[in-house]
């Protein structure tokens, strides 16, 4: 299985498509490089599967150094709620130029197991608000009487719901599938007379853990295939390695399709804290006008002393 997985990654790594590097649609959860550290960002079925109470604070500066470049902040909690249930909450804010997107999310998951297979089914509900900042009419480059600008100062609101599945086979293989924004409705459709078009979105992933005895090293290669709205298909090849019982981390991501990006990750663990930093660059022409993208994640394991048997938990 591991040999087939590695061969699959090798074959896909040669496929690249010219496409956009950044796009915002109601269907897209957000632009992240470090999502494989906290996969619940893409798939609600990961909610609480670690068996830990986890808090994540994430900051991303996209196209650093370019005026009006996108910046994103997110605060996420997820953990077990009761017996086989998981619960999570996310607050995400994205600023790009004079536009702003605010997302609030609640996620739920139910975990169950059969012999060597552990599984989880998840669902999330989202409230999404798009709006223009006052800068859209005060910077002098926009007609303050433009009806499009005026209509969007109050913003557009959406309700979205996502579903997902996650499974782990023994301690060797994991895979998941999610349908982000399988329901996506503009809340002010009745007032505007417009109808929201639901598009096909999906996220599929597969990966494995490779334990290196005697070196306190765990290597986690993974493959993610993503499709959101009108954005071209994206394939991410990730590699995450943890050293010395999760005290040091290193990783890399190669993204093909919507962006053609490459990034690396470094991290460190101190007690219940984890710190991750990543930097990525695009292979698109626009890269010459910016300094790449930076991302920082601070993770905290809450109530870590309440977890008694780490080996029995889902990874």
Q: What pLDDT sits at residue 314?
A: 45
Q: What pLDDT sits at residue 13?
A: 35
122: nearest Cα among 134, 138, 105 = 105
CA 34-228-95 angle, to 5 degrees, is 60
Q: Which two tokens stand for residue 42?
A: 């893409």
Q: What pLDDT sits at residue 144?
A: 67
| H or E element that contains 56 | strand 53-61
**pLDDT tens digits, 76-96:** 999 998 888 999 999 999 988
CATH code (residue 33) = 2.40.160.40
Residues of the chain falling short of pLDDT 50? 1-20, 193, 305-315
**pLDDT tens digits, 121-151:** 999 999 998 887 766 666 666 676 777 677 7
Q: What pLDDT sits at residue 264?
A: 93
Q: The pTM is what?
A: 0.81
Rounded to whole angstroms, how far apart are CA atoms 102 and 99? Answer: 10
Domain hosting residue 80, numbered range = 2-312
Question: CA of 134: how far to CAs of 73, 137, 142, 150, 238, in Å?
Answer: 20, 6, 11, 10, 39
Rounded to whole angstroms, how far apart are CA atoms 293 and 60? Answer: 7
Q: What pLDDT sits at residue 163?
A: 96
Report the half-sphere exposure of 17 (CA within 13 A, side-chain side).
Answer: 11
Total domain count, the chain = 1
State the residue for tokens 């669902």: 123
Could you tell me which residues come within 8 angstroms of residue 224 by beta carbon, excluding any fewer than 6 positions away? 35, 36, 42, 203, 204, 205, 234, 235, 236, 238
Q: Which two tokens stand for residue 199?
A: 């598009």
Between β-strands 173-186 and 71-82, what pairing exists: parallel, antiparallel or unpaired?
unpaired
Q: What pLDDT sits at residue 198?
A: 62
Phi, then psi, of 39 in degrees rounded to 5: -65, -10
CA 93-47-105 angle, to 5 degrees, is 30
Between β-strands 99-114 and 85-96, what pairing exists: parallel, antiparallel or unpaired?
antiparallel
Q: What pLDDT sits at residue 4?
A: 40
Q: Which two tokens stand for residue 131?
A: 């709006």
């Amino acid at each position: 299985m591991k040999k087939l997985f590695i061969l699959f990654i090798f074959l896909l790594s040669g496929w690249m498509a010219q496409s956009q590097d950044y796009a915002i649609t109601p269907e897209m959860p957000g632009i992240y490089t470090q999502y494989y550290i906290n996969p619940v960002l893409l798939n609600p079925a990961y909610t609480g599967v670690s068996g830990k109470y986890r808090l994540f604070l994430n900051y991303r500066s996209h196209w650093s150094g370019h005026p009006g470049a996108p910046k994103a902040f997110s605060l996420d909690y997820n953990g077990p709620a009761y017996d086989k249930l998981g619960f999570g909450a996310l607050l995400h804010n994205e600023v790009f130029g004079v536009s702003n997107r605010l997302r609030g999310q609640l996620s739920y998951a139910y975990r169950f197991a059969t012999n060597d297979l552990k599984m989880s089914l998840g669902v999330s509900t989202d409230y999404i608000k798009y709006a223009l900042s006052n800068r859209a009419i005060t910077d002098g480059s926009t007609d303050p009487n433009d009806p499009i600008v005026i209509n969007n100062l109050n913003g557009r609101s959406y309700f979205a719901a996502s579903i997902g599945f996650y499974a782990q086979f023994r301690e060797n293989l994991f895979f998941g599938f999610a349908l982000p924004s399988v329901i996506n409705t503009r809340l002010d459709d009745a007032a505007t007379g417009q109808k929201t078009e639901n598009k096909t979105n999906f996220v599929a992933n597969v990966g494995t853990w490779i334990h290196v005895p005697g070196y306190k090293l765990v290597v986690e290669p993974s493959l993610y295939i993503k499709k959101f709205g009108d954005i071209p298909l994206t394939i991410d090849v990730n590699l995450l390695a943890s050293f010395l019982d999760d005290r040091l981390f290193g990783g890399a991501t190669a993204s093909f399709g919507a962006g053609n990006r490459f990034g690396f990750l470094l991290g460190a663990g101190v007690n219940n804290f984890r710190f991750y930093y990543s930097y990525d660059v695009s292979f698109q022409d626009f890269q010459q006008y910016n300094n790449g993208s930076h991302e920082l994640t601070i993770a905290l394991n809450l109530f870590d002393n309440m977890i008694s048997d780490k080996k029995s938990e889902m990874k």
